[in-house]
Structure 1
């Protein structure tokens, strides 16, 4: 049970130990009815991209994944979610008091969609070929802390996440290698361990340090969530997802907030993000301080406004 009497939603010692051992922890952010009701309204609001920070370039390229990035910068519900203390207090328990949310993404899975390849992400150069986050050189660790919140039910049948507990301390993939983008291969029934898997048009196995490496799926656990529940995990944890079996017509939808200490350099030496066959300009992008304060000048920061965008970069 998380202690909320004096420290808000910070992790107690039992939760800290569970997280250290597993590399992940589940908790509730919103009541199921509250999330279901909110999403019924917000899914319509998000169709309006007139204030989205990424607009034309991804559409010209025909990309389907990069357009899901950073809608918290133009949507109040998502802005409130990434700064909700039920999330940020727990994140700060792991990362320290000064924390940025540097990216958010939607992860829909439709009936018949393939599962996601087993993967790990440290610098997030995996798809772009260029590091998107860099920890200080004297850091013992890298990666990002991801909070994946279920907007709909997430089950084995409709494609919930899978984790291999404790696998976050060493990398099995080399993000300096190059994956070939093959959008025509999406949902083409490629088999891996008997499960249909892909990586949004890439084959993540191309980054393996050992070409013969096979994840030990006997150790994997499914992360079944109700709407409003979340799982916090290291991006370096071995993780994947099941395919959507198609037994139900409902989409599975998760929303991932990615958090790092303010000392981490976000999108170093670049003005664009180019991956998944798409390209977006960072002209209007900014990371959001969600806990503590920012004592560094290496990141562009977005602050809350009262009109238009929830956040404005400066």
Structure 2
């Protein structure tokens, strides 16, 4: 029997829980064995970035690897993943039926890697050299940010660097995304904060704090362990971080984050290039994916799903 988006809609109690805490889950998307075999088959395609839409990015010292962003636009499995009813059901319960996916990212953490700093993201302008917001909600919107669905492609335990959340923290932004973070390659895997090895890809997210003397209340933090094939759904404005990978296993922790918005939100309205942490790539081949409903606004560029092996075409 084909499963529908409505089969995975959140209950009223779950929606209330999400709005109170800023996250909901875990949810099962794949059986662990299915996820393991899929990842094994997927690895060669992920390593080959020739078809990635940002494959010819501008090389900048200290930049992130943009070739691994938005791989749902060239890898069929990932194109299917972002539209799975197990994911779109909860997302549309929170955002409404007219919903798009605008970005995906891989988050690997290798044995010995530091944890990720506590952070929030509202309009994602802090990572862009242009300082332009990457997403812009309508003026009458009550909130900003994006819904992130973080799927564990491998087990994500505390020892391997699973996510951490501070419940309820999505209601107040503690960071000013118009501020600048300074890159320091020497800081990667070489810095402790409150006795824990944490960083932010060579940056110090604390430089964005509105109050330089403020510190997150980590006594309220909870750790979100996931089995391979499970996902967690959260607001990007929720205070989140990750544990270090302590190296007790030689297995990489791999998460895949898909980010969703209602179609009323403008995506990259001021940009013709993706600029992230020093990396830069043209948005010529970029398009949002309509995962549910319709687009009545016409201010975003979309792609259409087509045949396997060439997942999307731009319109």
TM-score range, shorter chain: over 0.9
Matches within 5 A, 1:1-314: 7-26=6-25, 27-59=27-59, 63-128=63-128, 129-188=131-190, 190-306=191-307, 308-314=309-315
- The offset of 1:210, in angstroms, is 0.5
Q: Where does structure 1 lack aligned partners over 5 or more consecutive residues?
A: none
Distance 1:16 1:62, change over 3 A: same
CA distance in 1, matches of 2:84, 2:5: 17
- The offset of 1:10, in angstroms, is 0.4
Give CA-to-partner distance per residue, 1:9-61, whole Å, 9 cap, x none: 00012211221221111111111111111111011222222211011224565
**Divergent runs of 4+, >3 A:** 58-65
Q: Where does structure 2 lack aligned partners over 5 or more consecutive residues?
A: none
CA distance in 2, matches of 1:237, 1:41: 33
Distance 1:300 1:212, change over 3 A: same
Give CA-to-partner distance per residue, 1:197-255, whole Å, 9 cap, x none: 11111110000000011001110000000000000000000000011101111100000
Give CA-to-partner distance per residue, 1:88-135, whole Å, 9 cap, x none: 011000001100100000000001111101000000112113210000
Asked if 2 retains the 8 angstrom alpha-carbon contact of 1:143 and 1:236, the reply is yes
Asked if 1 retains the 8 angstrom alpha-carbon contact of 2:61 and 2:278, the reply is yes
TM-score (normalizing by structure 2): 0.95
Asked if 1 retains the 8 angstrom alpha-carbon contact of 2:57 and 2:66, the reply is no
TM-score (normalizing by structure 1): 0.95
Distance 1:269 1:195, change over 3 A: same
CA distance in 1, matches of 2:216, 2:60: 37
Using the TM superposition, name which of 293-302 and 206-215 deviates more. Answer: 293-302
Aligned length: 310
- The offset of 1:171, in angstroms, is 0.2
CA distance in 2, matches of 1:141, 1:56: 35
- The offset of 1:307, in angstroms, is 5.7
Asked if 2 retains the 8 angstrom alpha-carbon contact of 1:111 and 1:245, the reply is yes
CA distance in 1, matches of 2:122, 2:64: 23
CA distance in 2, matches of 1:279, 1:110: 25
Distance 1:64 1:31, change over 3 A: same
Distance 1:5 1:86, change over 3 A: closer
Asked if 1 retains the 8 angstrom alpha-carbon contact of 2:64 and 2:276, the reply is no
CA distance in 2, matches of 1:19, 1:210: 27
CA distance in 2, matches of 1:292, 1:37: 32
Asked if 1 retains the 8 angstrom alpha-carbon contact of 2:53 and 2:67, the reply is no
CA distance in 2, matches of 1:159, 1:175: 25
CA distance in 2, matches of 1:76, 1:6: 20
CA distance in 2, matches of 1:203, 1:60: 19
Asked if 1 retains the 8 angstrom alpha-carbon contact of 2:99 and 2:292, the reply is yes
CA distance in 2, matches of 1:169, 1:65: 31
